A and B are shown apart, each in its own frame.
Chain A
């Protein structure tokens, strides 16, 4: 993914401590320093938020690495069985509700697609904005596809589908405490779902901001960009979890 290259309007960032008088370099009040659409710190702001997200996702990754290692250890574990006076392994493979899980996988991948479209649309809007702002230029007015609301819908569909998968598993007799394999199924999918709900909240926020609030387009772009990457991560994470659970079975 190419980073935003500020060739059009971004003036060279002012360096050094000299320069003019006591001009406040640190934007006070308002978004983007109130400098309007061509705020020179936009590219760096985006990079900073992306960096923050990447760092944060490393932490989320460690959470799932921990669950994975617990999963692997537990799967191979033997504990002492008094009756037989031997070590036994009590792991019973799950019968996964594959239909539901595949459907959910499609939902989350589709959501990744739609939010990626939203991200690129926001990119283009931000790039075009200064051009469109030039008096006399009228851009083709096309109402953009509702990518963000679509993602929201798909995200909800995924969650509901997961809930249905849980119910199906329970119907087959696998509850949280039935067997270590089912415990891990609920833990892994549950924790993923929890983080996904966080993503939905971010998505709601992004969709609201984009649709209704007046903000600099660059700021909207950052919000959508970060939300999009988070969602891609959630999709990848789901693929990993699904593969882990499937492979074990």
Chain B
């Protein structure tokens, strides 16, 4: 049987478990991808609130440094750096790498390809619990002697390799590395599951080119994760050895830290950077690709039009994935790396802007001559496009090493990655939440609250992160706990105040979302099986789906994923399981 045509899912299932009984098997140690997906989602939800509070404290400290925070006290300079480090770590790993892939990917992928579960459900369960353990290990860093580390989420050596180099660089740093190592292992196991599932469990008729773009995004993301997380794990192992067993992978000789001559010899701080960023760059694509997939899905659904250029979208994602592995050096233009390498990385980095641009054009093309329905998921998908454009366009500045000279390690970079990861990717998560909530919980979220949430967050995040570009242009370096000492920073204080106020208001608006989420789970209007009149397989099955997703009936796919507005058809959408559409090209 050729793989590209899928095969009878009924004959192909390797796992075998009946619907579980008992609270523990159903909700705690569940092998059901839907439960696991929700577990990941709620872990990410917890993490994002922790991360947001940390950033709130940071913003308050920058603007009102002497004001003690209730229940927390005054924020000292070393605390600021700790908050910064943990904010970045929590957000990048436990929110952006967890919710889109582990959360929605787990829940939706099997259903969207017509499978009863992931390829290896037990492994899936293990992946979640190891991720959970990793989170516990990370948070524990706050409570050990010395506190949490302060080297940034990038943990550059030797600062991260020498416990003496700062408070929190002792046990806290070891816990950080342990947490990351556990996260790597969990992610690798998860990637294994996603790839095998996508390749092997598609229902009959679900060819690769009929998969929804969400599935493609999870698939490419999993491949990126598979190849990148091992590198971070290796780096973490070497760093642990440098810190605890006297090796010198990253620590050169001849150092004097706080009056102590360090005994290491011959290591290279740049080696850490190469290993870290070889992982780190694919990581940011891991963070954004699922959001792109969801945006494509939602824009098409609510513009009532097929996605513009499905094949181009697939190839663009693949191109982003492949190119994502050869651009890591653009984080290191100022590092002392060879300027010739910098040139090579620069060309590749500019090249990766092309597939991103293609996707943006195609999203606009999807909206063009559509019939747009402004429900909450659509608002956030539209927001994603706007934010991705804004965040993406600062990329070509940073991609040129000559321009990176004034901009590296300034707030221009902070603006760039926050707009893309800290807002656009988050909007992807919001869009996915509003979109799939009815299927997951059988109820609709409140539309008015959704709109309020959208507008305040959309305007608020622009208000927070746009001004950071200006600060960066004027030279404000990153990771400064105070603007008092370096004098050219003084004129930026009004901007800082503006940003902090915007942050407070935007964070406050997230309570609207939180309330809407939990209230609607119990009191929302009951949802039908297909409230959005969408075409993909998850909308063919019951709401919420039964344990094996399709109630014993294996779906057979006849159409592509985005057959909206097909001429000559009575309804304005054709589901993937409907009889073949004459106009369908694939």
Q: Is the interface of A mostly helix, strand, loop or mixed?
A: helix
Do the beta carbons of A41 and B230 come within 8 Å of each other? no
Do the beta carbons of B241 and A187 come within 8 Å of each other? Answer: yes
A51 contacts B196, CB within 8 Å?
yes
- Name A44's contact: one of B14, B188, B245 (CB within 8 Å): B14
For B13, give the chain A residue with the smallest CB separation: A26
Residues B252 and A79 in contact, CB atoms below 8 Å apart:
yes
CA A184 – CA B18 in complex, angstroms? 48
A55 to B230, CA, bound (A): 13
Whether A23 touches B552, Cβ cut-off 8 Å, given contacts A44-B7, A56-B192, A77-B266, is yes
- Which A residue's beta carbon lies closest to that of B16? A27
B200 nearest in chain A by CB position: A48
Decide yes or no whether B275 CB sits under 8 A from chain A: yes
Whether A137 sits at the interface, judged by CB under 8 Å, is no
Central interface residue in B7, B247, B248, by most chain A CB within 10 Å: B247
Residue pair B548, A63 in contact (C-beta under 8 Å): no
Do B556 and A16 touch (CB < 8 A)? yes
Q: A17-B555, A49-B14, A183-B247 are in contact. Are A66 and B120 (CB under 8 A)?
A: no
Please state if B116 and A26 are interface contacts (CB–CB under 8 Å): yes
Q: Say whether, besides A41-B11, A48-B119, A62 and B231 are in contact (CB < 8 Å).
A: yes
Cβ of B467 within 8 Å of any chain A Cβ, yes or no, is no
* A13 close to chain B: CB less than 8 A: yes
Query: B3-37 CB contact bits vs A (8 Å, 1 = yes)?
Result: 00001111111101111000000000000000000
3 pairs of A and B residues whose beta carbons are closest in the complex: A25-B10, A13-B11, A62-B230
Q: A29-B18, A48-B14 are in contact. Are A63 and B556 (CB under 8 A)?
A: no
Contact across chains for B234 and A63 when beta carbons are under 8 A apart: yes
Other than the given A17-B554, A65-B230, A69-B274, 7 more pairs (CB < 8 A) read: A13-B1, A25-B8, A59-B192, A62-B228, A66-B230, A79-B268, A90-B266
* B13 and A180 form a contact (CB under 8 A): no
CB atoms of A51 and B199 under 8 A apart: yes
B7 — which chain A residues lie within 8 A by C-beta? 13, 15, 44
Q: Tell me the nearest residue of chain B to A182, going by C-beta.
A: B247
Contact residues, A70-101 vs B (CB, 8 A): 70, 73-74, 77, 79-82, 90
Are B234 and A66 in contact, CB atoms less than 8 angstroms apart? yes
B11 and A63: CB pair below 8 A? no
Binary CB contact string for chain B from 182 to 214 against chain A (1 if under 8 A, 0 otherwise): 000000110111011001110010000000000
**Any A CB within 8 A of the CB of B580:** no
A191 within 8 A of B: yes
Q: How far is the CA of A155 from the CA of B252 in the complex (A)?
A: 38
Does the CB pair A55–B226 fall under 8 Å? yes
- Check if B235 is an interface residue, CB within 8 A of chain A: yes
Chain B: minimal CB distance from A194 (Å)? 10
Within 8 A of B (CB), among A45-60: 45, 47-49, 51-52, 55-56, 58-60
Q: Which residues of B contact A44 (CB under 8 A)?
A: 7, 11-12, 14, 200
A176 interfacial by beta-carbon distance below 8 Å? yes
Interface residues of A in 130-149 (CB under 8 A from B): none
Contacts A55-B195, A70-B271 given; does A176 touch B548 at CB 8 Å: no
Give every chain B residue within 8 A of A60 (Cβ-Cβ): 230
CB pair A51 B200 closer than 8 Å: yes
User: Using Cβ atoms and an 8 Å threshold, which residues of chain B touch A59?
Assistant: 188, 191-192, 226-227, 229-230
What is the bound-complex CA distance between A191 and B237, given in angstroms? Answer: 10
When distances are taken between beta carbons in the complex, the residues of chain A under 8 Å from B249 are: 70, 74, 180, 183
Chain B residues whose CB sits within 8 angstroms of the CB of A79 once the complex forms: 252-254, 265-268
Q: Is the CB of B556 within 8 A of A17?
A: yes
Q: Which residues of B contact A80 (CB under 8 A)?
A: 252, 254
Residue of B nearest to A191 (CB): B237
Q: What are 6 contact pairs spanning A and B, CB under 8 A?
A: A31-B16, A44-B12, A55-B195, A66-B234, A183-B249, A187-B238
Residue of A nearest to B196 (CB): A52
Whether B525 sits at the interface, judged by CB under 8 Å, is no
Q: How far is the CA of A164 from the CA of B233 in the complex (A)?
A: 27
Whether the Cβ atoms of B13 and A41 lie closer than 8 Å is yes
Point out the residues of chain B lying under 8 angstroms from A1, CB to CB.
Answer: none
**B552-A24 in contact (CB<8A):** yes
Q: Residue of A at shortest CB range from B264?
A: A177
How far, in angstroms, from A60 to B191 measured CA to CA in the complex? 12
B19 contacts A28, CB within 8 Å?
Answer: yes
> Which residues of the other chain, B, contact A30 by a CB distance below 8 angstroms?
16
- State A24–B267 Cα separation when bound (angstroms): 60
Q: Any chain B CB within 8 A of the CB of A14?
A: yes
The residue on B at minimum CB distance from A71 is: B249
Interface string of B409-437 (1 = CB under 8 A from A): 00000000000000000000000000000
| Chain A min CB distance to B269 (Å) | 10
In the complex, chain A residues whose CB is within 8 Å of the CB of B552: 22-26
If the complex has contacts A41-B14, A51-B199, are A63 and B252 also in contact, measured as CB distance less than 8 A?
no
- CA distance in complex: A110, B193 (Å): 32
Q: Is the CB of A52 within 8 A of B120?
A: yes
Do B248 and A180 touch (CB < 8 A)?
yes
In Å, the complex CA distance between A22 and B252 comes to: 68
B246 at interface, CB cutoff 8 A: yes
- CB of B267 within 8 A of CB of A74, answer yes
A47 to B173, CA, bound (A): 42
| Residue A40, interface by CB 8 Å | yes
Interface string of A202-245 (1 = CB under 8 A from B): 00000000000000000000000000000000000000000000
A183–B248 contact, CB under 8 A?
Answer: yes
> With an 8 A cutoff between CB atoms, is A67 at the interface?
yes
Tell me which of B14, B193, B226, B248 contacts A58 (CB under 8 A).
B226
- Alpha-carbon gap, A13 to B7, bound state (A): 9
A26, B13: Cα distance in complex, Å: 7
Asked if A180 and B10 make an inter-chain contact with CB atoms under 8 angstroms apart, the answer reads: no
Distance A218 CA – B7 CA, assembled complex (angstroms): 20
- Name the A residues within 8 Å of B18 (CB-CB): 28-29
CA distance A87 to B138 in the complex (A): 39
Interface residue from B11, B226, B227 paired with A40 (Cβ < 8 Å): B11
Instruction: Answer yes or no: A36 CB below 8 A from chain B CBs.
Output: no
Q: Which residues on the A side are within 8 Å of B188 (C-beta)?
A: 56, 59
A45 to B189, CA, bound (A): 18
Question: Smallest CB–CB gap between B230 and chain A, Å?
Answer: 3
User: Are the CB atoms of B248 and A177 closer together than 8 Å?
Assistant: yes
Answer yes or no: B371 CB below 8 A from chain A CBs. no
Q: How far is the CA of A32 from the CA of B12 in the complex (A)?
A: 11
Distance to closest chain B CB from A220 (angstroms): 14
What is the chain A residue whose CB lies nearest that of B12? A44
- Tell me the smallest distance from the CB of A218 to a CB of chain B, in Å: 11
- Interface: B553 (CB within 8 A): yes
Given A17-B555, A73-B268, decide whether A28 and B17 contact each other with a Cβ distance below 8 A. yes
Contacts of A82 in B (CB 8 A): 254
Residue from A17, A32, A65, A81 having most chain B Cβ neighbours under 10 A: A17
CB distance B8 to A26 under 8 Å? no
Contacts of A61 in B (CB 8 A): 230
Which residues of B lie under 8 Å from residue A15 when comparing CB positions? 7-8, 11, 204, 556
Q: Measured between C-beta atoms, what is the minimum distance from B256 to chain A in Å?
A: 11
Query: Given contacts A73-B268, A77-B266, are A16 and B12 in contact (CB under 8 A)?
Result: no
